[in-house]
Amino acid sequence: MDKNSTDIQELLPAYLGIPTFMRCPVTRDVSQADVVVMGIPFDSGATSYRNGARFGPRKIREASLLMWGYNRHFDVSPLEHLNVIDFGDIDVDPTNIDTTLGLIATEVDRAISAGATVIALGGDHSITLPILRSYAAKKGPLALVHIDAHLDTEHGSIEHGTPFRHAAREGLLNTNAWIQIGIRGPGTHPQEINEAKELGAEVLEIDECFEIGIPAVIRRIHERIGDGQVYVSLDIDAVDPAFAPGTGTPEVGGFSSHQILQLVRGLRGLDVAGFDLVEVNPPYDSSDITSILAANIIFEYLSLLAVKQTSR
């Protein structure tokens, strides 16, 4: 597929024009889309510290205008190979997480039923649960690459610290192909990591990541995930606050921007069925560097999909 129609837009300066994601068309018509980028500006699941991730999708779109179209790591211009639409934002209800999760699931269902790959822009991490529900309903339990400072397998009702416990308990995950990467920080109680492992996760703490290096981490991911369909959920707080200050629960001692890009590029070859990027919190950002990093990560997501498409 040739998509030269986007050529001119890519060359516009980033300060100019209405900020849709990478200047893709805004539409709710998912029928022709290869990829549906959808904003989910819900942050009432941010129970631990700072909210404000409701402004994440808008700012990531704005930063995406810096994504001129060519990815030299994969020698691909993703928008030339993929029909990407900006779905806009899903309407959410800040006062009611249950209502909101239902609204999310409905829209994700529509997109994946139409055969598209979803890239969700959070919002806080609670939004991943309804996405996983929709995917599992359509495709069965998925493998999971979860990149984050926090396990998010806490006990309790649905909020941004618990989605993966719920997902595992609800049978949405292929827990034999589940890996968590970048975990660190003061924990709530000693059993946390063991509990995540009991749920099925392989846990790669940040110290191990630093010791073995990103290429080895990538190998561990591929070994763990294998050939099945996989969902990728990336909490921007996996990255160190120096590189990503705009987040809700900053955790020092994390990945650099270079490392996170390496890591995401290393997902090449996995059969990724869907992606999210959550917890970008613009009111706490500094000069938009977190949103710009986030847009770069989404650009790598798109590139992974373009490479997958072109290598078929």
Piece of the chain touching a copy of itself by CB under 8 A; list 104-112, 139-147, 172-180, 281-289: 281-289
User: What sign has the CA pseudo-torsion 20, 148, 240, 77?
Assistant: negative
Distance CA 270, CA 232 (A): 10
Distance CA 138, CA 109 (A): 8
Distance CA 262, CA 90 (A): 30
Based on CB atoms, which residue is closest to a copy of itself, 48 or 137? Answer: 48
Segment 5-24, which members bind a copy of itself (CB under 8 A)?
Answer: 10-20
Distance CA 102, CA 99 (A): 5
Based on CB atoms, which residue is closest to a copy of itself, 176 or 194? Answer: 194
> Which one of residues 9, 47, 83, 309 is an interface residue with a copy of itself (CB under 8 A)?
47
Based on CB atoms, which residue is closest to a copy of itself, 143 or 160? Answer: 160
Based on CB atoms, which residue is closest to a copy of itself, 138 or 219? Answer: 219
> Which one of residues 254, 267, 275, 301 is an interface residue with a copy of itself (CB under 8 A)?
254
- The C-alpha R_g of the chain, in whole angstroms, comes to 18
Examine residue 268 and tell whether it contacts a copy of itself (CB under 8 A).
no
Q: Nearest approach, Cβ of 297 to a copy of itself (angstroms)?
A: 9
Segment 53-92, which members bind a copy of itself (CB under 8 A)?
Answer: 54-55, 58, 61-62, 66-73, 75, 77, 86, 88-89, 91-92
Give Cβ neighbours of residue 292 (< 8 Å, ≥ 6 apart).
63, 66
Report which DSSP code applies to 44.
T
Segment 205-244, which members bind a copy of itself (CB under 8 A)?
Answer: 205-207, 210, 240-243
Piece of the chain touching a copy of itself by CB under 8 A; list 29-37, 169-177, 189-197, 272-280: 189-197
Based on CB atoms, which residue is closest to a copy of itself, 12 or 138? Answer: 12
> Tokens 């705009």 correspond to what residue?
246
Do residues 101 and 158 lie in contact, with contact meaning Cβ atoms separated by under 8 Å? yes
Residue type, 180: Q
Based on CB atoms, which residue is closest to a copy of itself, 88 or 269? Answer: 88
Angle between helices 56-64 and 289-310 (to 10 degrees): 70
Angle between helices 97-113 and 128-139 (to 10 degrees): 40
Task: Show the binding pattern over residues 127-156: x = contacts a copy of itself (CB under 8 A), - = does not.
Answer: ------------------------------
Q: Nearest approach, Cβ of 294 to a copy of itself (angstroms)?
A: 9
Segment 193-212, which members bind a copy of itself (CB under 8 A)?
Answer: 193, 205-207, 210
Examine residue 94 and tell whether it contacts a copy of itself (CB under 8 A).
yes
Number of residues that bind a copy of itself (CB under 8 A): 91
Strand partners, 35: 84, 117
Order across the sheet with 271-278: list the strands: 84-89, 35-40, 117-122, 271-278, 229-235, 142-147, 173-183, 202-205
> Which one of residues 84, 167, 249, 276 is an interface residue with a copy of itself (CB under 8 A)?
249
